[in-house]
Structure 1
Amino acid sequence: MTLEAILDAAMTLLDTQGAAALTTRNIAVALGCTQASLYRHVRNREELVTLLIDRALSVASSAPPDGADWAEKAAWSSRLFREHLLRHPGVASLLRGTERLGPNSLAGMQYSLELFITAGLSPRLASAAASSLATFVLGSVRLNLGLDTSDPEESRHRRLLFRSRDAAVFPLLVQYADTLAEVTSDDEFEVGLNALLTGFRILIQDSNTTHGQGPSRG
């Protein structure tokens, strides 16, 4: 019995049965041990969830390609984080405030702050930029949980839905039904990610112009 074995069993439960099944009793059953055995490693379910999330978040700290600038590093980490959450969607439902920040989570915050401060943002703007990026990644995953927009059947249903609308009421949906039906969650994510990075570049340029006093535009 090790902490890693407990976290592995917890992740399997989360992936297969969802957050409601994530109990010390169910984990003990999966491991063939008693709940008392688990409590030698974790105090309660809340600590277990914190450790599980912290381990899941550590994947986003993988080193980006050599020579990458701040934007490429931010994009690299965002894509990596999203891919991991899509493989383990139950983790997304457990993420919340600072009460669940563990060592890996704090290391990720440190990395993000350093990335944006070094790029030219004030600590306040750097924190806001890092948080908005994480919120975007998490939101994009939660919005598409249980939905595969690249599935041909999903595209067919969307195409039929848009085509069947009243063109006088929904002219654009009807006119561009084929195009709209082919837009995937990957397309949506990449557009949003590029838009955020473009906005951050503007913040950095403005911050450099005003010597760290914040953006000049409203």
Structure 2
Amino acid sequence: MDEPSRTAEAPRPGTAAWWLARESEPARQRRRRSLTLEGILDASMALLDDRGAAALTMRNVAEALGCTQASLYRHVRNREELVTLLIDRAISVASTPPPEDADWAEQAAWSARLFREHLRRHPGVASLLRGTERLGPNSLAGMQYGLALFIGAGLRPGLASAAASALATFVIGSVHFNLGLDRQDPEERRHRRELFRSRDAAACPLLVQHAEVLAEVGSDEEFEVGLTALLTGFRALIEHADHA
């Protein structure tokens, strides 16, 4: 069965208009009481983890749940809506409260590492985050958390919002950049050394000269350097705001 087509007037899933419309619409009839939106999202996440984003179709979700696609459409109209809701729920981990005695920088670093590890455990989720608006209830809770963190540190609201968004973008980008790579694998590191050393020394002298060191740099080191650089920049913004 094909997915129901979206009318020209219907807002695109994930936009602010779509979230507002979803919250204001009456509850959809559900003939199959055992089928819930949470159950659909659970099955979708399991499918995503086991088989990847390409396997996340309405047909496959229905098969996993032992129901018809028509039953799914009483909860979500199409795959685009399903992905939007799934992503928003996955983002909720970023709102987990950090240790109470941590300062703003320690809280930001704690949340960034937590979110990154969650995405690394669920690479299918990370692959679906491209261009996804973060406007669902869990995403807005995360936005509230980020605003409170950076406004509390001394930034004005607009700059605090940009800082929180920059941190989230960095985390997501760091995971995207390394999807499918395992730099801890000794064989991968050996191949990297061979690749760097095999370059033309006249064209790529630094790759050849530092092949041993470069092959050992992993995604964790890259992430921590980037995180430190961001936090250092945020501190400079905060100090500037204090003296403005």
For structure 2, the residue ranges without an aligned partner over 5 or more in a row are 1-34
CA contact (8 A) 1:50 1:101 kept: no
* In the alignment, structure 1 residue 188 sits paired with structure 2 residue 222: yes
2:104 matched to which residue of 1?
Answer: 70
Contact 2:93-2:114 within 8 A present in 1 as well: yes
Deviation, structure 1 residue 97: 4.9
Give the Cα separation in 1 of the matches to 2:120 and 2:141: 22
Distance 1:61 1:101, change over 3 A: same
Question: 1:157 corresponds to which residue?
Answer: 191
Does the CA-based 8 Å contact 1:60-1:77 persist in structure 2? yes
1:33-112 aligned at under 5 Å gives the runs 33-97=67-131, 99=133, 101-112=135-146
Rounded Cα–Cα distance in structure 2 between residues aligned with 1:21 and 1:42: 17
Q: String of CA shifts for 1:167-205, please: whole Å, max 9, x gaps.
A: 333222122111111000000000000000000000000
In 1, Cα distance between the equivalents of 2:69 and 2:196? 52
Q: Secondary structure at the match of 2:99?
A: coil
Instruction: Return the structure number with greater helix share.
Output: 1
Q: Report the equivalent of 2:19.
A: none
1:132 paired with 2:166, answer: yes
Partner of 1:214: none
Cα displacement (A) at 1:106: 0.4
Deviation at 1:100, TM superposition (A): 5.2
1:121 and 2:155 aligned? yes
CA deviations on 1:20-70 (whole Å, 9 max, x unpaired) are: 322211100111111122233323322221221111000111111120011
Structure 2 residue identity aligned to 1:33: C
TM-align CA RMSD: 1.5
User: What's the CA shift for 1:74?
Assistant: 0.6
Matched, 1:18 2:30: no
Q: Distance in 1 between matches of 2:192 and 2:132?
A: 39
Deviation at 1:88, TM superposition (A): 1.0
Say if 1:96 and 1:182 are closer, same or farther in 2 by CA, change over 3 A: closer
The whole-number CA distance in structure 2 between the counterparts of 1:151 and 1:2 is 41
Mapped partners of 2:134, 2:147: distance in 1: 19
TM-score, normalization by structure 2: 0.81
AA partner of residue 58 (structure 1) = S
For residues 44 and 26 of structure 1, the distance between their equivalents in structure 2, rounded to whole angstroms, comes to 13
Q: Could you tell me which residue of structure 2 aligns to residue 7 of structure 1?
A: 41
SS of 1:81's equivalent?
helix
